[in-house]
Structures are given as C-alpha cells and as structure tokens.
Amino acid sequence: MKRPIRSIILWTIISISFLIFGNCKKKKGIDSTEWKDESLKITAKLCEKYRACADENWIGVPDKLKDFTKSRLEESHCQKEFRDSNAYRLIGGDPKVIIESYRECKNKIISATCNSLKNGLVDSIPECKVIKKIQSGT
C-alpha cells in the first residue's frame, strides 16, 4: 500500500515539474546587447572588406555568379547570417575569448591585402582559427 502512494507522489512531483519547467525555452548563449551591437558592426566591416576584394576580380565572372556573390556580401545579409552564429550568441567557449578573438581576427583581416586573403591568410591567423572552431561548434 505504501508503494502506490509513493508512486503517486513521485508522478505528481514529476508532472508538476514538467508543467512548471516544460514550457520554459532555454536561451542558448549569453544575451549581451553591447556585444550584439559591436559584433554586427564588426561583421559589416568584414563583409565590406571581402566585397571590396571581390570587386577587383569580377572580370570573366558570369553575371549570375556576380549577382549572387554580391548579394551574399551585402551588409544586411551578412548580419542576418551572423545572428545565427555561435560567436554572436557567445556559445562554444569563454565569452571573453570569443569577443577578443573576433575583434583581433577582424583587425588582421581589415589590415590585410586582398591578395593575402585570397591566398588563405585567414587560415593562419590564430584568432581567426579560434572563431572558426567556435562557429563550427567543434
């Protein structure tokens, strides 16, 4: 007789827990308005740099590909894509490391020549490697 009462009490507690916590959606990441604003500005500058580098190489590229590429590098599209990223939401590592790495990666990309970017400079920048790892979730 004690066993059914314990089971009823246990199931009641579990049911109440699901009712209280079941509808709560966990927000992933850290909600930092300051970081979100800053990171969107950084992203816009990065897209601007890549757009400027791409402008040098449009000779011989089909118009449809040009239009597609330009649209992907537009500020609003870049920022929209970035909003879904781990770096924007500060997921995947220490938030301070994410913020500093993204800032430093941006600084090194902005100061780089288009030629060095085309030759894979980003893959050799430690801060960019950190961001790439965070963005991929590995």
User: Would you give per-residue pLDDT tens digits along the chain (138 residues)?
Assistant: 455 544 445 444 543 433 333 333 344 778 889 999 999 999 999 988 888 887 666 666 676 666 666 666 677 777 888 888 999 999 989 999 999 999 999 999 999 998 898 888 989 999 999 999 999 887
Residues of 39-73 as b/e, b for ≥16 C-beta within 10 angstroms?
A: bbebbbbbbebbbebbeeeeeeeeeeeeeeeeeeb
Residue 38 lies in a domain: yes
Residue 41 lies in a domain: yes
Q: What is the pTM of this model?
A: 0.71
In this predicted structure, what is the pLDDT of residue 24? 38
Residue 9 lies in a domain: no
Nearest C-alpha neighbor of 39 from the set 94, 93, 106, 97: 106
Number of domains in the chain: 1
Nearest C-alpha neighbor of 44 from the set 101, 90, 83, 91: 83
Residue 15 lies in a domain: no
Residue 2 lies in a domain: no
Provide the domain limits for residue 60: 32-136
Residue 6 lies in a domain: no
